[in-house]
Copies of this chain bind each other. A is one copy, B any other.
Amino acid sequence: MCASCDAASNGQANGQTNGNGTSNGTNGANHDGFTSIKSAHNPHPSHRSSPYAPVGDFLSNVSRFKIIESTLREGEQFANAYFDLEAKIKIARALDDFGVDYIELTSPAASEQSRRDCEAICKLGLKAKILTHVRCHLDDAKIAVETGVDGLDVVIGTSSYLREHSHGKDMTYIKNTALEVIEFVKSKGKEIRFSSEDSFRSDLVDLLSIYSAVDKVGVDRVGIADTVGCASPRQVYDLVRTLRGVVSCDIETHFHNDSGCAIANAFCALEAGATHIDTSVLGIGERNGITPLGGLMARMIVADRDYVINKYNIKKLKEVEDLVADLVEVNVPFNNYITGFCAFTHKAGIHAKAILNNPSTYEIINPQDFGMSRYVHFASRLTGWNAIKSRAEQLGIQMSDAQYKECTTKIKAIADVRKIALDDTDSIIRTYYHNLHAEEEKPLLPGLTAEEEKKFIEAEKELEGVKEKRQLDAAAAADAEVPESKKTRTAVVA
């Protein structure tokens, strides 16, 4: 049975215990024509063969991963990031509340300010382990171990590009320096990771031989970094899978998002046996950044919801993202994972209908897990009558299906004439209902111009066709015991 079905059904089950979480505006934008609604519960879906579900693979760490949160290192390299100590402390505390396993800081060798900030954050006594990211160089390592960090993430470029154009060192030099630095850091009782840079454009034999060498001297983690964002998911799976067979230590992975695979690559790395994923809040980093913390949560909750909700305080996600967005002066992208304003909106009639029956039909993530809420859109020309029926029922209005259908026709006709908001839809439903039973009719949507009215009547005619229209009217009238006096079409305007 498919892991995502799993997630979906569990997700809904949990949704029920979470309360309805209809806190409007948590998605942070005005929602013309949207409303937060309670949906039917999710009957546990019947499952059948799905051979393409990821099988319980002894290699996979999808249910055992750890997060190395690098907003204060990779994130500090984002174009707009200038974190002073106060900002860094706010971010570190927020990440600690969220429950990340590690917090990575800029190298104390980068500047005196960086060194002081690093010391200060180590003194906060956070639950998360504190790491700092330093060049594979003894001088930098010496400065780093004095700051009180729990561990060092050392890195050196191994691709021909970086060896030629960056540090200009050969593999022998790299290996010797690595061993020297690792020995030193271990002698100081600190955790140590050795990572290559630009791993996916490095020579495989070079990579495996240096990883194997550092593993033998007891490095805690080796790191693979897609520094330029060129790797594709199956390349990542294959490289990590091979490395998993070569080293016995943990495997950390770092993916840039230049070609849109940073989240998928992290997932495939875990499937292949990687143990740690680097993230930053909103993905901020060099260029367009790395695997975003929220995006990784979106992917992993689909793969193993229990692990994610039990380990991380995911209801804090929006808070953390808003904090960082303010500090680096960017807007949270409109289409951001989970917290973007449209992440849980449903518009097309066919979607709205199914969502009302069972949110899992068109949702793989339960918004309530993240303290977000769901929106269903009624007021568009794509609206279906089932959505209108459920909306009417929310408003306490009971009509026959024929009446719901005719009412929907009118709403769609008006939506063809002008943009209508949810309030408009509600008042049209109420007025339509009132007009069915009242002698005196009210306009469905007050304030339509003569031209809009004309357009509306055309639109409605075209929508139904005269013949079908008459049948509807008759049926609606019959259902409503309409007063003898009125057998005419419900008026649009007074």
| Interface residue A145 (Cβ < 8 Å from any Cβ of B) | no
Q: How far is the CA of A459 from the CA of B4 in the complex (A)?
A: 53
Residues in B whose Cβ lies below 8 Å from that of A286:
345-348, 351, 362
Within 8 A of B (CB), among A275-327: 282-284, 286-289, 292, 295-296, 298-299, 302-303
Q: How far is the CA of A235 from the CA of B55 in the complex (A)?
A: 11
Residues in B whose Cβ lies below 8 Å from that of A463:
111-112
Q: Which residue from B34, B259, B354 sits with its C-beta under 8 Å from A263?
A: B259
Distance to closest chain B CB from A102 (angstroms): 20
Q: Is the CB of A235 within 8 A of B302?
A: no
Q: Is the CB of A353 within 8 A of B166?
A: yes
| Interface residue A405 (Cβ < 8 Å from any Cβ of B) | no
Q: How far is the CA of A334 from the CA of B348 in the complex (A)?
A: 28
- How often does this chain occur in the complex, in copies? 2
Q: Is the CB of B235 within 8 A of A335?
A: no
Top 6 closest pairs, chain A to chain B, by CB: A264-B264, A260-B263, A333-B333, A4-B230, A233-B233, A112-B462
Within 8 A of B (CB), among A341-400: 341-351, 353-354, 357-358, 360-365, 375, 377, 380-382
Known: A31-B79, A258-B337, A335-B333. A165 touches B361 (CB 8 A): yes
Residues in B whose Cβ lies below 8 Å from that of A148:
none
Q: Is the CB of B111 within 8 A of A382?
A: yes
Known: A4-B201, A228-B363. A287 touches B48 (CB 8 A): no
| Interface residue A423 (Cβ < 8 Å from any Cβ of B) | no
| Interface residue A472 (Cβ < 8 Å from any Cβ of B) | no
Per-position binary interface string of chain A over residues 21-40, scored 1 when its CB falls under 8 Å from any chain B CB and 0 otherwise? 00000000001001000000
For the complex with contacts A8-B228, A52-B200, A287-B345, 6 further pairs of A-B residues with Cβ separation under 8 Å are A7-B230, A80-B334, A113-B381, A113-B459, A227-B362, A261-B267
Residues in B whose Cβ lies below 8 Å from that of A161:
8, 45, 354, 358, 360-361
Q: Is the CB of B362 within 8 A of A201?
A: no
Within 8 A of B (CB), among A152-202: 157, 159-162, 164-166, 198, 200-201
| Interface residue A237 (Cβ < 8 Å from any Cβ of B) | yes
Q: Is the CB of A459 within 8 A of B261?
A: no
Q: How far is the CA of A358 from the CA of B295 in the complex (A)?
A: 32
Q: Is the CB of A232 within 8 A of B303?
A: yes
